[in-house]
């Protein structure tokens, strides 16, 4: 019998599996998809281009422990992600920075705004537009409005399906202007891409004699939560680490938790590069939010051949093939989640971890960090 059953082989499940296996525990990983890696899974498409099947994933972290842990299973390719916004005819780096200023305003106006921003806030500062809107300087207030309209508003409407008036003013206020010439999307101390891709990194992580991985295995077909935890028809005395959706685990008993899902439009083009940057955000026009060209991210070299992906955001429909990507975090949804959480707490040996099980948005590094912390605690127990 296994000591642990882990549901899901994304970062949450795979890091726990490896850590606990090395602590001498026997682990069964149940993964419903035909592959490991969760949403970070990558593979080669029919044109030989390495793609991320569930959307572009760029690794970045300030946590040394996380970077070092993953470095046991992969080498890294240095990659600094840069994102361009396309707003009508305008193209400029985002987060909006001093270089963006010079792309969208004439030289005189850009220079004037630059010196005002630097004088008011200093270099290398991320200033929220909420703060800029309160400036006594009309030019700075005007810039805040420009960023709101051309970077944030329509993009957010597309991403979250909200009307402009429904957008939380707090969220709007936090949109930053970066007083810097640094075009990188992330400023973390460690950033890059697994040299051979994410999937080989997961394969290395799960390659341990104490780990059994079962893909195409729906956990609910084998596990049930009655008075006890039942596995393959028998009481299971080990622990279950569950990284899937909690409403689904309990049959949507209290109603479905709302999410946004994404439709991905992959396109192959017979050119070496389709666009100038890894990701271009369409912040004003077009029905999609962004286009990612994978060769920039992965560093793959291929003449006359590239694959791009357009992202379309929409509401997730529970109990369909839709994949829940982004939890819609608000008071109502959080209180619904709390009902499921209370139910989960009835099972002492059921542990919840991950973006779905916790109904939160987590970057990959945060999940790795939480998985390591959970396993620290589990291995300290007797």
- Binders of ligand FAD among residues 217 to 256 (CB under 6 A) are 218-220, 243-244
309 and 292 Cβ atoms separated by less than 8 Å: yes
Structure tokens given for 330: 């608000």
Q: Is 297 in the site for ligand FAD (CB under 6 A)?
A: no
Of the candidate residues 177, 316, 354, 359, the single one contacting ligand FAD (CB under 6 A): 354
Residue ranges in 16-55 that form contacts with ligand FAD under rule CB under 6 A: 30-33, 38-40, 55
The CB-of-37 to ligand FAD minimum distance in angstroms stands at 7
Nearest-approach distance from CB 351 to ligand FAD, in angstroms: 13
**Quick check: helix, strand or coil at residue 354?**
coil
Tell whether residue 363 is a contact of ligand FAD (CB under 6 A). Answer: yes
Q: 287-290: long-range contacts at Cβ-Cβ below 8 A with a sequence spacing of 24 or more?
A: 287/158, 287/312, 288/158, 288/312, 289/155, 289/158, 289/159, 289/313, 290/83
Q: Strand 223-225 vs strand 83-87: parallel, antiparallel, or unpaired?
A: unpaired
CA 142 to chain centre: 32
Distances (CA, A) of 197 to 47, 49, 151, 262: 17, 12, 31, 22
Count, residues near ligand FAD per rule CB under 6 A: 33
Burial environment of residue 67 by CB neighbours within 10 A (0 to 12, 13 to 18, 19 or more):
buried
User: Which position among 2, 5, 6, 7 is part of the footprint of ligand FAD (CB under 6 A)?
Assistant: 7
Q: Which of 2, 11, 92, 340 is close enough to bind ligand FAD by CB under 6 A?
A: 11
Q: Pick the closer one to ligand FAD by CB: 179 or 358.
A: 358
Question: Among 211, 201, 210, which residue's Cα sits nearest to residue 72?
Answer: 201
Which residue lies nearer to ligand FAD by CB, 68 or 145?
A: 68
Looking at beta carbons only, is 296 or 362 nearer to ligand FAD? 362
* Complex with ligand FAD: residue 34 or 304, whichever CB lies closer: 34
**In the complex, minimum distance from the CB of residue 302 to ligand FAD, in angstroms, rounded to a whole number:** 22
Is the bond into 246 cis (omega within 30 degrees of 0)?
no
Q: Where in 53-112 is the site for ligand FAD (CB under 6 A)?
A: 55-58
Cβ-count burial 26-63 (b if 16+ within 10 Å, e if not):
ebbbbbbbeebbbbbbbeeeeeebbbbbbebbbbbbeb
Q: Which of 97, 289, 355, 375 binds ligand FAD (CB under 6 A)?
A: 355
Q: Name the minimum Å distance from CB 7 to ligand FAD.
A: 5
Residue identified by tokens 């200093």 is 122
Q: Are 8 and 354 in contact (CB under 8 A)?
A: yes
Beta carbon of residue 38, minimum distance to ligand FAD (angstroms, whole number): 2
Verify binding: residue 362, ligand FAD, rule CB under 6 A: yes
In whole angstroms, the minimum distance from the beta carbon of 207 to ligand FAD comes to 18
Which residues bind to ligand FAD, rule: CB under 6 A?
Answer: 7-13, 30-33, 38-40, 55-58, 218-220, 243-244, 262, 325, 354-356, 362-365, 367
């Amino acid at each position: 019998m296994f000591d642990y059953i882990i549901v899901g082989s994304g970062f949450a499940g795979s890091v726990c599996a490896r850590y606990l296996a090395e602590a001498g525990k026997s682990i069964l990983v149940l993964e419903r998809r035909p592959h490991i890696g969760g949403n970070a899974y990558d593979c080669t498409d029919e044109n030989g281009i390495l793609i991320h099947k569930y959307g572009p994933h760029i690794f970045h972290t300030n946590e040394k422990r996380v970077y070092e842990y993953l470095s046991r299973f992969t080498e890294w390719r240095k990659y600094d992600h840069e994102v361009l916004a396309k707003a009508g005819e305008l193209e400029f780096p985002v987060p909006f920075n001093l270089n963006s200023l010079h792309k969208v305003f004439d030289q005189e106006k850009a220079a004037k705004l630059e010196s005002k921003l630097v004088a008011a806030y200093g270099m290398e500062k991320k200033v929220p537009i909420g703060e800029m809107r309160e400036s006594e300087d009309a030019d700075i207030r005007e810039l805040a409005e420009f960023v709101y309209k051309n970077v944030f508003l329509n993009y957010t409407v597309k991403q979250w399906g909200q009307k402009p008036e429904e957008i939380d003013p707090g969220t709007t206020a936090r949109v930053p202007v970066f007083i810097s010439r640094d075009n990188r999307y992330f400023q973390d101390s460690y950033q890059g891409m697994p040299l051979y891709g994410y999937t080989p990194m997961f394969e290395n992580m799960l390659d341990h004699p104490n780990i059994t991985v079962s893909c195409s295995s729906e956990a609910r077909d084998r596990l049930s939560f009655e008075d006890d935890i039942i596995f393959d028809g028998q009481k299971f005395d080990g622990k279950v680490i569950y990284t899937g959706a909690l409403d689904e685990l309990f049959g949507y008993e209290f109603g479905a938790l709302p999410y946004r899902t994404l439709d991905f439009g992959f396109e192959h083009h017979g050119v070496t590069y389709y666009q100038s940057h890894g990701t271009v955000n369409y912040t004003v026009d077009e029905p999609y939010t962004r286009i990612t060209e994978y060769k920039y991210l992965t560093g793959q070299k291929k003449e006359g051949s590239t694959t791009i992906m357009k992202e379309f955001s929409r509401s997730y429909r529970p109990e369909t093939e839709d994949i829940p990507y982004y939890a819609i975090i608000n008071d109502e949804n959080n209180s619904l989640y709390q009902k499921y959480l209370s139910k989960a707490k009835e099972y002492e040996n059921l542990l919840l971890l991950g973006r779905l099980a916790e109904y939160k948005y987590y970057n990959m590094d945060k999940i790795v960090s939480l998985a390591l912390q959970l396993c620290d605690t589990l291995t300290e127990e007797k």
